[in-house]
Amino acid sequence: MDKKTLDYYATNALEVAGRYEEVPSALASKFDVAFTLGGKVLDIGCGSGRDLAVLARKGFDAYGVDPTSEFVDIAQRIHPELIGRVKVGQLPELGTPFDGRFDGLLCCAVLMHLETTQLEESLEAFKLVIKPDGRVLISVPSARADADMYGRDQHGRLFKDFSSNFLKETFEKHGFQLVGEWENLDTLKRSGVEWITHLYQLTI
């Protein structure tokens, strides 16, 4: 992942976690549609553990990874039910956390922090941890008014402008078929920030 972005999250993990824990997950309503109940799901870039805790409460065998050790610690402190189920890990060097063989992957507000080459590498990394016919639920900004001409916000975080069509073409090239698409507003109610959510299924 982008180093400036990671540095921001490591330095401000507690503040960021507090913001996200105060609002509901925009993707929670899609979990039952995306994944089979009881299935093993990996939340990649789990942050404060908010979405991961929702998955666990819904009956999924939920695990998470995050690039920052600060978030790994915070997630398990805020959500004790996640103790032992969160570890440090990042894209594109994901490896096979928790022995892999996941039925589903959740990747919310993560892929926009990757360069295009890293995105392609990450999709290959997905295939190493997911079962045949496994599903991937992602969410990225469709609008980000606070990003400058270089795709960075005032904090230096990278926000790549991956269009819906580009994502579909890239995922398809790597063996994933789009099976669901939604638009959603920003739960933090930030002006000029909107999101798209895609659900993919591995076909090869």
Q: Quote the strand ranges of 11-74, DSSP E.
A: 40-44, 61-66
Residue among 178, 65, 174, 66 at smallest CA distance from 123: 174
**pLDDT tens digits, 36-83:** 999 999 999 999 999 999 999 999 999 999 999 999 999 999 999 999
| pLDDT of amino acid 143 | 67
Annotated domain spans of the chain? 3-202
| pLDDT of amino acid 189 | 67
Domain 3-202 has CATH 1.10.3210.10: no
| pLDDT of amino acid 94 | 96
**pLDDT tens digits, 153-181:** 889 999 988 999 999 999 999 999 999 99
pLDDT at 86 over 90: yes
| pLDDT of amino acid 190 | 66
What percent of the chain clears pLDDT 90, i.e. is strictly above it? 79
Pairing of strands 102-108, 130-144: parallel
pLDDT at 186 over 80: no
Burial class of residue 110 (count of CB atoms within 10 Å of its CB; 0-12, 13-18, 19+) = buried
Token digits of residue 69: 């050790």
pTM: 0.94
